Structure 1
Amino acid sequence: MSQTKDFAYWRHLAEGLQIEGRALIDGEFTAAASGKTFDCISPIDGKLLTQVAWCGEADVDHTVAIARQRFESGVWSDLNPRQRKEIMLRWAELIRVHADEIALLETLDAGKPIGDTTTVDVPGAAYTVQWYAEAIDKAGGEVAPVDYHLVGLVTRQPIGVVAAVVPWNFPILMAAWKFGPALAAGNSVILKPSEKSPLSALRVAQLALEAGIPPGVFNVLPGFGDTGKLLALHMDVDCLAFTGSTFVGKQLMQHSGQSNLKRVWLELGGKSPNIIMPDCPDMARAARSAAGAIFYNMGEMCTAGSRLLVHRSVKDEFIKALIAEAAAYKPGNPLDPATSMGAIVDHIQLERVMSYIETGKGEATLLLGGGRTLTETGGYYIEPTIFDVASQEARVAAEEIFGPVLSVITFDTLDEAIALANASEYGLAAAIWTADLTTAHEAARRLRAGTVWVNCYDEGGDMNFPFGGFKQSGNGRDKSLHALDKYTELKSTLIRLR
């Protein structure tokens, strides 16, 4: 498009945007059976975007039955792998063709800067669909070594009906991490987007139909936690994939046990440590990275580097550089491409983050920020906030806040840093900055986290790396070929030859 994609471009595009809020069931947009809806409010200015279908028991039962029928019919699960691949590649391309529209929906709905949704979220979702499409006709089985009179085959089969319950912080990207491999494996999928950010999922699912995915194979049911609970308890859902809080993840595991023992895969919370050793090879880059680790996406990241562990000998120098780097994250209108920090997703999350900040003021030393800003817009904006924390027992240092709030913790030895880092119920990600190769390898081995970065943070967006956590950060892995394990069943077939 020849027009410059500046602030005026995005505002103009938003004025003419057609927003769909109905559920997508069996290839058709439809209201909830009860007629129930909920308001979809933009965090940019607190204004109503549209009303969205609130799906209930009748909708869930109907959609699961359709998804089951489509799976058993083989209309997708038995399709030639190359045909599934071609359809999903067309889908990935359609996401790219409609990238501006989808990115705008993400920004209006979740408050994410348009500069991020256009460069990270939407391209990442398209790449995920493409990556798993290309894996479809390359991921095979095994011929097992058995007695000479037998042939032993180990194959993977789609698990059946997959329910994906996804979060609001990366609405379409993390949804793609679920529906990409689940559909590539041949399953039927029911996507339950967060009630805080349901819009992009509906549009992308519509593009799936346009690409050729059969009706009923990929469905979207908006709703609140009750909708997710109905899917988790349903006796004909074979697998539940969830990204969200540890609290809800524990409930979903219980629902599996109360129903049909469906497979439950959980990507949950984090309180990730970012360790700065005195021999950090580049303090300026480390400070810039540490600011991005907590203030990017308004701190609404499960991998956020929310605990900054700094060696006492470099603490003062590092904090000075960190505060200077935090200035790059000034909250602004997310439709402005110059904005690096957008709005908190809704007033509920805003109040939660502000409550933690107020608690932090009584248990730690406030170094930066700590207040709301841009209140005149009607939107939900919080300043980048940094606390110097004397004890990791402080709530701001121990609990996941999911906002732009950083706790700085001092240590004296590597052993102390590792102990502090691991003293958490979470184990999603961690980082260490050091010029010593031995320190780097030893720390990476000892840190109890699913991803460890050395001399960087939140790098390596390639799909080849599995993503998930230790401890109460969940089980299973998104991304990479390992994600296919979640949506398939292993089958052993033995054939006697004589």
Structure 2
Amino acid sequence: MPEAVTHAQWLRRAGELRPPTAHHIDGADEPGSGGDYAVVSPRDGRTLIRVADASPAEVDLAVAAARRAFDHGPWPRLAPAERGRVLLRLADLLEEHRADLALTVSLEMGKPISDAYGVELRAAINTFRWYGQLADKVTDESPHVSPDALALVTREPAGVVGAVVPWNFPLTLASWKVAPALAAGCTVVLKPSESSPLSALTLGRLATEAGLPPGVLNVVSGDGPTAGRALGLHPGVDVLAFTGSTAVGRHFLRYAADSNLKRVWLELGGKSPNIILPDAPDLDAAAATAAWGVFFNQGEMCTAPSRLLVHASIAERVTEAVVARARALRVGDPLDPATEMGALVGESHLERVLAHVAAGPADGARLRTGGSRTLTASGGSFLEPTVFDQVAPDSRLAREEIFGPVLSVLAFDDLEEAVALANDTEYGLAAGLWTSDLATAHRVSRALRAGTVWVNCYEEGDLTVPFGGMKQSGNGRDKSAHALEKYTELKTTWIRL
């Protein structure tokens, strides 16, 4: 983040920000006929702006534009290198508008401005740049068959993609869907969360400015039960990519079954275990990372290590270190560069998290720190970093995704028990393990049912590695070249010679 930008300067810039309010369909603004709704900032509870609210009619317009662009437009027929150049131009435009986009994200969902600029925008820019560079490096196959035949296996764009993304990383998760879909030659209808539509609407306009033909990337703002449902049921959509809750993911599977059996790729919730063994190379670093991981982004992370599994011999030492970190965290105005933890996305979500917190003692857990609203005079949705220990494995704290800054500490006596506790969940998105023993690292990593396992670290990686879950955390993978598998079809052509 530009170090020279102060809290006062961000506040002034926020007052001057003029984000788009209309849908972006077929390369142009589309006010629509569905009315509008208020986007409320969780930092102070005030309305930022009113934006267009998509009805099924606007979704129809967007899908029709994407359908025309795919069936008759130039994008799927461009040389992959040319598609890549457009994505690289888009990455450059995101960099050019980085400060305003970071400010938009911070205002609409409560993320600290330092994280919005340094993490969210960096990830989105890097994603479009990476897939822009990859676009012309995907090859087809020609298997060796009989001497009198030629076999070709070609990878072709799958068609119109509906991408539905949540509010916790509005640009990062949008880029993880949109960039590989565009690189593959698909066209896209993007529906952001109704809580965080402003950054996505800006992305649509920058994509058109970068040179995407009309209809290739369309953005509609609206809620899930109306706009999301219309997109999921639409027969003109070939692929649906969704990140969000497991409950909503089930809806999209039903929408596909009730319409055209479109492919549905889901990245859903998590209740990720973070296992610390007595032989961890650095217990202080393990505790610090455990605290950072669960409180980063206000705990609104599907991969958040919300279950800390600690060997009984070190449980109190580690818990005390995590509690000390939690108490030292600076909770404050998201627009203050010194803030380490901002506001939860809104009042209804805060109330839901507080209900989980209230259930903890009723289920026998001990509250070690936090658990209450804070900064109430601001009008915003702020919660203290919260730590429970003595958490029962069958309690709500241990089993339900809270999606807030709430950590549950569970003690174990041996490695077999730790693995059993870690896998005792309907989710399987991520896991962490801290050990100095190489054999233990390999054995436990293989035993954990999770799409990503971090050893002696957490939330590490880059775009070269895939991201996604097992069990009820979803299917398919974002990031890496493997993401292209979601947006392409394999065609076999057999030629008799």
Shorter-chain TM-score: which interval?
A: over 0.9
Which residue number corresponds to residue 451 of structure 1?
452
SS of equivalent to 1:137: helix
Under a length normalisation based on structure 2, what TM-score does the superposition of the two structures give?
0.98
- In the alignment, residue 91 of structure 2 is paired with which amino acid? A
Give 1:471's aligned residue: 471
- C-alpha distance in 2, partners of 1:187/1:405? 39
Query: Could you say if the C-alpha distance between residues 390 and 117 of structure 1 is closer, same or farther in structure 2, counting changes exceeding 3 Å?
Result: closer
Partner letter of residue 452 of structure 1? V
In the TM superposition, what is the alpha-carbon distance from 1:330 to its structure 2 partner? 2.5
1:368, 1:97 → 2: CA distance? 42
Q: Pairwise mapping of residues 68-467 of structure 1 onto structure 2 (< 5 A)?
A: 68-225=67-224, 226-363=226-363, 364-460=365-461, 462-467=462-467
Q: Decide whether the 8 Å contact of 1:37 with 1:51 is kept in 2.
A: yes
2:37 paired residue number: 38
Q: Give the C-alpha shift of residue 153 in structure 1.
A: 0.8
Contact 1:3 1:9 in 2 (8 A): no
Q: What is the rounded CA distance, in whole Å, between the counterparts of 1:404 and 1:162 in structure 2?
A: 33
Asked whether the 8 Å contact 2:110–2:344 carries over to 1, the reply is yes
TM-superposed CA distance for 1:3, in Å, is: 8.4
Q: What letter corresponds to residue 337 of structure 1 in structure 2? A: P
Is the 1:91–1:129 contact (alpha carbons within 8 Å) kept by the matching residues of 2?
A: yes
- Matched AA of 1:220: V
SS in structure 2 opposite 1:237?
coil
> What residue identity is the alignment partner of 1:387?
F
Deviation at 1:149, TM superposition (A): 1.0
Aligned length: 495
| Partner SS for 2:489 | strand
CA distance in 1, matches of 2:13, 2:425: 45
RMSD over aligned CA atoms reads 1.1
Tell me how far 1:459 sits from its aligned partner. 1.1
Asked whether the equivalents of residues 328 and 340 of structure 1 are also in contact (C-alpha less than 8 Å), the reply is: no
Query: For residues 80 and 428 of structure 1, what CA distance do their matches in structure 2 show?
Result: 36
- Partner SS, residue 180 of structure 1: helix
Deviation at 1:426, TM superposition (A): 0.1
Shift of 1:285: 0.4
Is contact 2:391-2:408 (8 Å) kept?
no
Give the secondary-structure state (helix, strand or coil) at the position aligned to 1:144. coil
In the TM superposition, residue 33 of structure 1 has moved relative to its aligned partner by 2.1
C-alpha separation between the residues in 1 aligned to 2:328 and 2:480?
Answer: 33
Q: Deviations over 1:20-57 (max 9, x none)?
A: 121111111121223x1111000000011011111011
1:382-415 Cα distance to aligned partner (Å, 9 max, x none): 0000111341111011100000001000100000
Q: Sequence identity, in percent? A: 54
State the distance in 1 between where 2:212 and 2:278 align: 54
Note if contact 1:171-1:193 (Cα within 8 Å) is conserved in structure 2: yes
Q: Which is further off, 303-312 or 6-15? A: 6-15
Q: Is the 8 A contact 1:330 1:383 kept in 2?
A: no
The one-letter amino acid paired with 2:138 is: A
Letter in 2 for 1:181: P
Per the TM alignment, residue 2 of structure 1 is displaced from its structure 2 partner at its CA by 8.8
Separation of aligned partners in 1, 2:418 and 2:406: 20
Q: Which residue is 2:62 aligned to? A: 63
Q: For residues 332-376 of structure 1, what are the alpha-carbon distances to aligned partners after superposition, in whole Å with 9 as ceiling and x for unaligned? A: 001011101000001111110011111113221101100000000
Distance (Å, rounded) in 2 between the aligned partners of 1:118 and 1:58: 35
Tell me the SS of whatever aligns to 1:210: helix
Local SS of the residue matching 2:473? coil
Task: Report if the CA contact (8 A) 2:277-2:311 is conserved.
Answer: yes
Query: How many angstroms apart in 1 are the aligned matches of 2:19 and 2:343?
Result: 20
Q: What is the TM-score of this pair, normalised by structure 1? A: 0.98
> 2:327–2:369: 8 Å Cα contact kept in structure 1?
no
